[in-house]
Amino acid sequence: MVNFEPSNTLKELPEQFFAKLVQKVQKLKNEGHDIINLGQGNPDLPTPPHIVAELQTAATQPNFHKYSPFRGYGFLKEAICAYYKREYNVELDPNSEVAVLFGAKSGLVEISRCILNPGDTVLVPDPGYPDYWSGIALAQGKMAFMPLLKENHFLPDYTKLDNDILKKSKLMFLNYPNNPTAATATTDFFDKTVEIARKHHICVVHDFAYGSIGYDGVKPPSFLQSEGAKDVGVEMYTLSKTYNMAGWRVAFAVGNPSVIEHLNLLQDHIHCSLFGGIQKAAAEALTGDQRSAVELRRTYESRRDTFIKHLNTIGWKVESPKGSFFCWLPVPKEYTSEEFADILLEKAHVMTAPGNGFGKFGEGFLRVGLLDTEERLVEAVRRIEKLGIFTY
């Protein structure tokens, strides 16, 4: 058997962080242990029935059995525009300001290849979503990290970024509500971002995956609500979190027409758009009954309240997240993030994601997903309590 060497590009890709986590969990499962998996970002509840029904109906339509239009059906782009108008009062042109994506992950990887030349600099949040790094590596770009620190509410402090780095940067990734820190941004912060991006000619990519999940009555703002945002960037939105459609792989980018055209052009050479039935169901999700999305947010908020209360009760002093379905928990000082995550997995059979997997400034934290029932979340806390690490 001939062993073919991978390309240098593949060799330079970062390690797939979540694949490593899954392997650890699978080993313990194979040994017969009951693992409470709070380490991944995979929604645990089903897609709402009315969206599934729309797909079932659409799947019987022969027109959708053919290739879809390369850049997506007009009805889905119109639905995306209607969603942004209804939710954020943002006007979009369906023909020039919307790109249909094969999930936000694909778009977030593709955008670097659309904008960067080898050696170009990209501003990346630290900690941040590892797939930003993957796209930059594929485009042979260079990363400049923006620390997300607790003292600045896990927002980048633009005043502390090196001016030479800002001048060289072509792209900036942001993500609020944030994965992994669960922090939220304000319109004032996005206004400052537009100002910085315009001054230094930086294309902003705002990953709005958790846009529908804000707590305590505060709705997370869209980057595009800031004046001039469409002049300097795009926002990527996925139906995975808002409507529990992770396996459907449907998302979109909206904003700057030149960037949207670049994304569409790249996808013309890679894909032939999504199955039309999925696009029809996605349009129904965006424009149909929204009660399921509201109820989902309430479910996560209730899980958050229960989980955080019980953690504090056992002596693990943690703060309540403001958005997303994650909690960003401080690790006891005598452990590294990975050491503590391994202890919880091996001794309590609770899987979490060590913060160092999201970047240098993630060290000292664990990311925990609110992606199981309240009963299982409470059981996870009870298992951790039995380790005797925390005091009341």
pLDDT at 40 (0 to 100): 85
Whether residue 259 contacts residue 115, with contact meaning beta carbons closer than 8 Å, is answered with yes
pLDDT at 24 (0 to 100): 81
pLDDT tens-digit series, residues 174-185: 999 999 999 999
Cis-peptide into 69, omega within 30 deg: no
List the Cα angle 238/358/370 in 5-degree steps: 55
pLDDT at 193 (0 to 100): 98
Structure token pair of residue 285: 């999700």
Rounded Cα distance, 187 and 159, in Å:
18
- Tell me which residues of the chain have a pLDDT lower than 50: none
- Phi and psi dihedrals of 117, rounded to 5? -110, 160
Rounded Cα distance, 93 and 80, in Å:
10
Nearest of 232, 231, 247 to residue 55 by alpha carbon: 247
Provide, rounded to the nearest whole percent, the portion of the chain with pLDDT above 90.
90
Nearest of 99, 93, 139, 138 to residue 265 by alpha carbon: 99
pLDDT at 12 (0 to 100): 85
pLDDT at 16 (0 to 100): 72
Structure token pair of residue 266: 């790249």
pTM of this prediction? 0.96
pLDDT tens-digit series, residues 282-323: 999 999 999 999 999 999 999 999 999 999 999 999 999 999
pLDDT at 27 (0 to 100): 86
Whether residue 127 contacts residue 361, with contact meaning beta carbons closer than 8 Å, is answered with yes
Rounded Cα distance, 304 and 64, in Å:
41
Rounded Cα distance, 283 and 72, in Å:
12
- Name all domains of the chain by residue range, CATH numbers in brackets: 8-47+291-385 (3.90.1150.10), 49-287 (3.40.640.10)
pLDDT at 392 (0 to 100): 61
pLDDT at 33 (0 to 100): 87
